Structure 1
Amino acid sequence: MSDAGYDHAAVERRWQEAWDEANVYRTPDDVEDPTYVLGMYPYPSGKLHMGHVRNYTITDAYARFRRMRGDEVLHPMGWDAFGLPAENAAKERDTNPRDWTFDCIETMRDQMDAMGFGYDWEREITTCTPEYYRWNQWLFSRFHDEGLVERRDAEVNWCPECETVLADEQVEGEAELCWRCDTPVETRELEQWFLQITEYADELLEAIDDLEGWPNSVRQMQRNWIGRQYGTELEFHVDGYGEVEAFTTRVDTIYGATFFALAPDHPISEELAAEDEEIRHFVEHEADPEGDEPNGIETDLTATNPATGEDLPVFVADFVLSDVGTGALMGVPGHDDRDHAFASKMGVDIEPVIAPEPEDWDGETVPDTPDVSEAAYTEDGVLVNSGDYSGLDSETGRDQLTEDIESASKAKQYQLRDWGISRQRYWGTPIPVVHCDDCGPVVVPEEDLPVELPEFINTTGNPLDAAEEWKQTTCPDCGGDATRETDTMDTFVDSSWYFLRYVSPDLDEAPFDLDRANDWMPVDQYVGGIEHAVMHLLYSRFFTKVLADHEGLEHREPFTNLLAQGMVQLEGEKMSKSKGNVVSPQRIVEEYGADTARLFMMQAAQPERDFDWSEEGVRSTYAFLGRLTELVEDVAANGADGPDDAVASYVDAEIDATIAIATDEYDDLTFNKALRETQSLTRTLRQYAEHADPHAETFERGLSAVVRLLAPVAPHVAEELYETLGHDEFVVDAAWPTAQVDRDHVEKRRRLVENTREDVRDIVEVAGIDDPREIEVVVAPEWKYDALEIAIESDADNLIGELMGESHIREQGDAAADYGQDLQAEREALETTLGPDAEHAALESAAWLLEREFDAPVRVRRADEVDDSVLKNAEPGRPAIEIED
């Protein structure tokens, strides 16, 4: 111990060296089925931030806990090392992304070691190395072989600041900003490579229901992103262009269609724009799909409503999107908010054809027509003004109209689009394709992989375009001159399968050892930020399903359990460099130690919740570790030789209680509750030592339990104290402590003791007793416990009658009737309790707490030891209390 607390620097340095020397965290390849614990690997930005520390403390604590429970644990770490930030940093510093990235990795690895994270560093992967991205290219080739890769012209999201394409998932918010730099995103037409994730849309959606270990919020975000809608496809005849297909989820409103609308880039719109200057001006200069109000321009065309035969005016409208539905829609302003706003602006008729279903509707009469002049009625209801279909409910109307309209058929649409992976930048996996004038795009053969990145050229735009020597190559098919593809892959390709590479990181023959992956996958516990709920997790699920279908992987989902950890904030705001509110993990480690930082964060809140960083909380945590160290060192130096009495029995019970509860909470990853229990036991042990000479076996068992319960979160000080207690093995290899009771028994016993202490405090306060001479606690008679059990289990209307049917209860006369009335009144709130003998034992062992608090002797009595005047107030779980003044 130092004057300021325990010497955290020396303790942490000592045990980190010992762990390294013993290679304690290595997972052998011959393990049959390890518990796979994984934190989302970081982008190597150069320094850990508090979000990193929290994420990796969660996984490290859980991995250590599972290991102490006897599991073989796989707990690896790697680096999501490609990406535009490194390229931009290299340009700014006139260096190259590779050197910048590896410098950052070295710094962050050292910081992770300083935090005591127990990784198997022999399994480390770095996605920017050819040894890794070779397999990105191999997977691209396999996806291509299976028809899951396509190259086509497409409108793409373009970030002018990053000078690259973004996936839909990388465009954030209503303002449509780049997820990296917050620059407004533009739309461009480019030839792009796509992975056809839409081929798996149905399975990706339907399998969400089976992800029971995932947060509901994440599951819903994925459902919303996939966005499957059931509806109807049908054809409208457009003069001069024939049948044009539209999709609607509300064909029941077709009699209310008053216009037909086309997307600005619909083929018909493009033909019209080529011929009509006004339409071209609208398409090129006025159309704004993200505008606050829908806008459009009327054409000279009409479309025939297939249900009514009426001709509808055709508009080119910017709220119609070519990649949603078919790029054409029927406008029903009476029953769609967006259509209503457009019709109001353009002077189009608004006709109601759905009425709210009346409360007393008989299913036959037609309700009154609603007023939709000011706002659309958008709910289901009853069809009105709909010819022969009037009077049908919306669902029946949809089915009947879909059946009756000749061109109509049931259909489904998705919001999900194929994944555009082309990026116009250097620092990523080169797409393994060469372009040949004779053969077209040709995938590079496996024997020529990896296609390695050339030396970095610091230039504007895509540096690969400037790498002329690298670009020039020969066609693998015809041997003629060809040029390499200069786009690189979206870095989410790297993270879509990295968890599989950890099972065999040095394998040269394949991206992963299939047999081992089948044994070790899926990841048992995955931890990462909610910001990855759509992109990374959806793409990882997609890759896993493709590998299951085509490469023999036996698992179709990558992650069994998912925890999305909350943010570390300062005064209610997310920490960020721009706000100047960043707390440096390195400073905290230097001043207070890694264990203090880890323990403070894990006890501050449940892992899923945001919490505020508090220097006061950090200092308090550090002081706790110092007090615990002092307590352990004291017993190691001076020993204990007190009696095995009622007090020792109470402490033993609290040790069991703490172990039982903390174990459950660790299992559920609610570390804050487990740590609260552990700290409470530490206080109890300190109080025990101050109250009396502790019983050696009980006290040492309690300290050993505390140290092992803290070990997953505060591993360094736990190793130090475990050794101080006389153990030769690492605490990381120690067995998790076991309890002799279950949690239900623990909670009943604790509730009894705490209620009794509260009742004594209330009596002392209300009666104004300054100096109690004696406190008597009386356990209820056995018949009351029987009556309580009957009341809890009974569903009889006449509870008192049922109670009086038991002779031993009926014999109690008025006392039984009075207690029966109390039970009847509280029937919904009744809880089971310990039995009379167990209550007596629990109260007797806890009497020292009352004696210590009130400085008075405490006597715990059984029911047969007192007269009825005292006994009438005793109930199960709530003993009678007599205090002598």
Structure 2
Amino acid sequence: MSERDYDHTAIEERWQTVWADADAYRTPDGAEDPTYVLGMYPYPSGKLHMGHVRNYTITDAYARYRRMTGDEVLHPMGWDAFGLPAENAAKERDTNPRDWTMDCIETMRGQMKSMGFGYDWDREITTCTPEYYKWNQWLFERFHEEGLVERRDAEVNWCPNCETVLADEQVEGEDELCWRCGTPVVQRELEQWFLSITEYADELLEAIDDLEGWPNSVRQMQRNWIGRQYGTELEFPVEGYGSVEAFTTRVDTIHGATFFALAPDHRISEALATENDEIRQFVEEEADPDGDEPNGVATGLTATNPATGEEIPVYVADFVLSDVGTGALMAVPGHDERDHAFATKHDIEIKPVIAPEPDDWDGETVLEAPDVGEEAYTEDGVLVNSGEYSGLDSETARERLTEGIESAEESTQYHLRDWGISRQRYWGTPIPVVHCPDCGPVMVPEEDLPVELPEFVNTTGNPLDATEEWKETTCPACGGPAERETDTMDTFVDSSWYFLRYVSPDLDEAPFDRERANDWMPVDQYVGGIEHAVMHLLYSRFFTKVLADHEGLEHREPFRNLLAQGMVQLEGEKMSKSKGNTVSPQRIVEEYGADTARLFMMQAAQPERDFDWSEEGVRSTNAFLGRLKETVEAFAENEPNGENDAVAGYVDSEIDATVAVATDEYEALRFNEALRETQGLVRTLRQYAGYTTPHGETYGRGLSAVVRLLAPVTPHLAEELWESLDAEGFVVEADWPSAEIDRTRVEKRRRLIENTREDVRDIVEVAGIENPESIAVVIAPDWKYDALEIAIESDAENLIGELMGESHIREQGDAAASYGQDLQAEREALSRTLSSEAEHEALEAAAWLLEREFDADVEVIRADEADEEVLRKAEPGRPAIHIED
């Protein structure tokens, strides 16, 4: 151990014990409006990975910051404990999912505690316990009472490997793979339970605009998934099959419809496939909706265009999807790129019916049809080749055509589908339904909840279907023999309301305490991965709205602010076991300490950004903490008694500036910027101590500020140093440092000082001055500050003429003209600086930095005291430099 290393293990274990004994992170039940900070709870896979550590360090740092600013903070943790991986792991290990899950939870809980996360562990929830999933069942029955549950046959996504149904959102990529195991997903017809999320589609969509604390990318992903489209539904008679409904958003192009297209699984397509081998082969083997180009097969049938009466050919085409619109569409190759590609491939007529509207169009002149032979024209415009509708603009034509076509009516379509929650697995919440041959599906009475899982049966297929004794029951309605529902709920049900359970985790009478939830919700800051931007967040929003409508919840959105944290990478690639590029958090904690791991992660990048793990960066971070500990303990052992002079004044101003800037950055969750500020103050304090004997009060105030500014990120060492400074209480409960300053002024002052130091370095290097004896820093004359302000405010084309209109500037003659030319040339980049007096004051206070760096006498000179030759070079924000060697 080097002299600057410290015993992080002893320090971290000590303070974790002290905090636990003192209940330091407990949120009182009586808190009326706590700040609710929440990280998406983890699936208990057995070990924390770096993604977990980053997520929970972000939420922990923010929760600690809010606590120090005086808020009562709710910062809980729990476990998303149901799910197929536990079931598969249990099969592989010849155990049961519950034991495996609980062992994983115990391991991960210990790792979280070793990281120093400040959770209120009294509020811990585990979704696989009957105490929790009872309320999943209760909520299912409440949704059923309100008409939001339906059981019906449906074509579903089926994973043959996991042997379970997947929601659309759980099918990933163009290859349509299972999100859990990567197996290609197939379609099966099954009777399923659905939650009617589509009943809330409009509100879910429209309320997105109010989610101002969410990333725009996530909001757009939600909009896209809901996928609301306004258009027209109309009928195309197909020979031998009657009228077929089609949906279009561009009924204005109907006169250009030259073929009709059906989805491969449309009822007509399936019927034709039983009679025609070519169609059967296409439907069963060739159709590829995710292919690079649209493919299809002619049916030999025709459809009648209801606007023109023309007969157009019917195709089965893989670019038509049964779950979008009606599974049938009119194809207009002149005005749709996909239709154009298909028509070109199959030699179908391409007819233009929309012309671009010229800027000077009078509304009456007949327009020429565009050339759409090579490329479709897809914008709105003016109708041509459209009979009586020619000459109308697209919007008007859509209204008139919808009114004029007998079968047409306005329609709204959605990409969103009802949420199928049935899963043919064991490790999930049993659906509380009994199937009676006489009464049909019957809800289990509330007093009989929870319906608990039986002992695990290691079998293929649906394990609950193999548990005969558990499955056999009596009907709650008639008392006759019946069978329990053997499907379990999608685990996204668990996470759709878990944030409400934290407010009253031990409540036996209801899923959550309504009054407390109304006080504490919505979650003020939610943090989690972008991979949950659709499923989890959309379902949580849906549940919250239903509970607001039917259970007295006063909030219709669950999460006020959302942060989607970036990935932790290694050499530019996401860490993963399959790539063998993971870094063990436990090793980092053991070797460097939790505080080092937390600080490195938080300073590496903004929370939303990906960043590369760096062992060298970890070592550097650890060394910084060692130096800080050495600095604070040296002060505590022997408080200095230097003068309260100009140097102390400069340090005082930097303390205030750092506190103000870092506070702003913490507030905005830009932790990396806050930490950079804080580390800069540490450097200033160490430079101060190396330059002179510090003023004790100033130096101590700076160290106290540093310790508190670092406390949210490095809580263990901060607590140790807080004790060294003889401060009262825990640093986790200390007041956040405060400073009232003008941040803009601070930035100008800092920029001035740094630019001046850089200019001195450049002069010394270019001139080859090895040992400068003196450095003169000359402030610009007042008239240049006035000229700069005029240039910034002026919109006159002739800036020099305007400057010369000011007599005190004109009196400067050639100097004024030359400076005016410079201002004219850089006009777009000009910015305000401090006043001449404020520049003098700032540089006087910072002169010691130059003296220390160059071991030279430094003088800051006002313009009226300066040598004329040197003064000529001085400008606002860029004083002139004269060096004697």
TM-score, normalised by the number of residues in structure 2: 0.96
Which whole-Å CA distance do the structure 1 matches of 2:267 and 2:673 have between them?
61
User: Residue 797 of structure 1: CA displacement?
Assistant: 4.6
1:606 shift after superposition:
0.9
Matched-pair contact (CA < 8 Å) for 1:358–1:367: no
**Superimposed CA distance per residue, residues 332-361 of structure 1 (whole angstroms, 9 cap, x where no aligned partner):** 233333333433444433333334456765
Q: How does 1:41-440 map to 2 (within 5 A)?
A: 41-273=41-273, 279=279, 282-357=282-357, 363-440=363-440
Structure 2 CA distance, aligned partners of 1:295 and 1:818? 71
Kept in 2: contact 1:261–1:315 (CA 8 A): yes
Cα distance change of structure 1 residues 865 and 317 upon mapping to structure 2, 3 Å threshold? closer
The one-letter code sitting in structure 2 at the alignment partner of 1:42 is P
1:539 corresponds in structure 2 to: 539
Contact residue 442 and residue 477 of structure 1 kept, 8 A: yes
Matched residue SS, 2:12: helix
Residue type of the partner of 1:741?
Answer: I
Q: Which moved more, 1:449-458 or 1:827-836?
A: 827-836
- In 2, distance between residues paired with 1:94 and 1:760? 73
Q: CA deviation at 1:789?
A: 3.1
Structure 1 segment 665-744 matched on structure 2, within 5 A: 665-744=665-744
Supply the AA of the counterpart residue of 2:653.
Answer: A
SS at match of 1:560: coil
Aligned to 1:509: 509
Aligned equivalents of 1:292, 1:759: Cα separation in 2: 58
Does structure 1 conserve the Cα–Cα contact (< 8 Å) formed by 2:4 and 2:630?
A: no
Question: Structure 1 residues 137 and 837, CA, compared in 2 at 3 Å: closer, same or farther?
Answer: same
Distance 1:383 1:721, change over 3 A: same
Summarize deviations over 1:442-475 as a string: whole Å, max 9, x none.
Answer: 1112111111111100111111001111111111
Name whichever of 817-826 and 846-855 sits farther off: 817-826
Q: Post-superposition shift, 1:664?
A: 1.0
Say if 1:211 and 1:560, in contact at 8 Å, map to a contact too: yes
Cα contact 2:151–2:194 (8 A) shared by 1 = yes
| Structure 1 residue 324 displacement after superposition | 1.1
2: CA distance, partners of 1:752 / 1:287: 67
Pick which of 792-801 and 316-325 moved more.
Answer: 792-801
Tell me the residue number matched to 1:614: 614
Code of the aligned partner of 2:776 = E
Partner residue of 2:31?
31
Q: 1:717 to 1:388 in 2, by over 3 A?
A: same
**Deviations, residues 492-517 of structure 1 (Å, cap 9, x unaligned):** 01001111111111111111111111
**Greater displacement, 204-213 / 371-380:** 371-380
Report the CA distance between 1:768 and its aligned residue.
3.4
For 2:560, what is the secondary structure of its paired residue? strand
- What is the CA–CA distance in structure 2 between the aligned matches of 1:319 and 1:739, rounded to whole Å? 62
Name the aligned partner's letter for residue 47 of structure 2: K
What SS does the corresponding residue of 1:523 show, helix, strand or coil? coil
Distance 1:274 1:635, change over 3 A: same
Task: For 1:773, give the aligned amino acid.
Answer: E
Alpha carbons 1:366, 1:382 under 8 Å: kept: no
Residues 281-308 of structure 1 deviation map (CA, whole Å, 9 limit, x = unaligned): 6544554444555444444543211111
User: Which residue pairs with 1:628 in the alignment?
Assistant: 628
Quote the Cα distance in structure 2 between the aligned partners of 1:290 and 1:830: 53
Contact 2:195 2:420 in 1 (8 A): yes
Q: CA deviation at 1:594?
A: 0.4
Residue aligned with 1:623, SS:
helix
Contact 2:4/2:627, CA 8 A, preserved across alignment: no
Q: Which residue type is aligned with residue 705 of structure 2?
A: A
**SS in structure 1 at match of 2:860:** strand
- Letter matched to residue 501 of structure 1: R
Letter paired with 1:420? G
Do the aligned partners of residues 753 and 279 (structure 1) sit closer, same or farther apart at CA in structure 2, a change above 3 Å counting? closer
What is the distance in 2 between the residues matched to 1:884 and 1:740? 40
1:652 is aligned to 2:615: no
Q: Distance in 2 between matches of 1:730 and 1:563?
A: 29
- Counterpart CA distance in 1 for 2:779 and 2:291 is 74
Q: How many angstroms does 1:717 deviate by? A: 0.6
Structure 1 stretch displaced more, 498-507 or 281-290: 281-290
The AA in structure 2 aligned to 1:590 is E
SS of the residue corresponding to residue 230 of structure 2 reads strand
List aligned pairs for 1:440-479, cutoff 5 A: 440-479=440-479
CA distance in 2, matches of 1:855, 1:3: 29
* AA aligned opposite 1:231: G
Contact 1:529 1:566 (C-alpha < 8 Å) held by counterparts: yes
In the aligned structure 1, how far is the partner of 2:742 from the partner of 2:6? 35
1:15 and 2:15 aligned: yes
Q: Any conservation in 1 of the 2:659–2:738 contact (CA below 8 Å)?
A: yes
CA displacement at 1:575 relative to structure 2: 0.9
Distance 1:241 1:525, change over 3 A: same
Whole-angstrom CA distance in 1 between matches of 2:856 and 2:274: 99
Which position in structure 1 is the counterpart of 2:592? 592
Shift in CA distance, 671/245, structure 1 to aligned 2, threshold 3 Å = same
Aligned length: 885
**Residue identity in the other structure for 1:636:** A
Output the CA distance in 2 between the equivalents of 1:771 and 1:676: 32
SS at match of 2:189: strand
Unaligned runs of 5+ in 1: none
Distance in 1, Cα, partners of 2:110 & 2:766: 60
Give 1:380 shift: 3.4
Residue 574 in structure 1 maps to residue 568 in structure 2: no
Structure 1 residue 152: Cα displacement: 0.7
1:846/1:285 Cα in 2 relative to 1: closer, same or farther (>3 Å)? closer
* Matches of 1:563 and 1:190, distance apart in 2: 38
3-state SS, counterpart of residue 882 of structure 1 = strand
Shift of 1:698: 1.1
CA distance in 2 between partners of 1:796 and 1:167 (Å)? 63
Cα drift, residue 255 of structure 1: 1.3
- Tell me how far 1:539 sits from its aligned partner: 0.7
C-alpha distance 374-451 of structure 1, shift in aligned 2 (>3 A): same
- Structure 1 residue 367: Cα displacement: 4.4
Q: Is the 8 A contact 2:61 2:713 kept in 1?
A: yes
CA contact (8 A) 1:332 1:350 kept: yes
CA contact (8 A) 1:151 1:192 kept: yes
The structural deviation recorded for 1:381 is: 3.8
Q: Deviations over 1:8-43 (max 9, x none)?
A: 001101110110010100000111101111000000
One-letter amino acid of the structure 2 residue matched with residue 575 of structure 1? M
Following superposition, the deviation at residue 821 of structure 1 comes to 4.3
- Please say if 1:774 is aligned against 2:774: yes
In 2: Cα distance, 1:166 partner to 1:389 partner: 47
Q: Which amino acid aligns with 1:762?
A: D
Alignment check: 8 A CA contact 1:435 1:485 kept: yes
**How far is the alpha carbon of 1:250 from its aligned partner?**
1.6
| TM-score after normalising by structure 1 | 0.96
- CA deviation after TM superposition for structure 1 residue 364, in Å: 4.1
Report SS of the residue matched to 2:100: helix
Which residue type is aligned with residue 317 of structure 1? A
The more displaced of 870-879 and 628-637 is 870-879
Q: Deviations over 1:615-670 (max 9, x none)?
A: 11111111111111111111112221111111111111111111111111111111
Matched, 1:560 2:560: yes
Match of 2:763, as an amino acid? I
Report the Cα offset of residue 50 of structure 1: 0.4
Identify the residue that residue 764 of structure 1 maps to in structure 2: 764
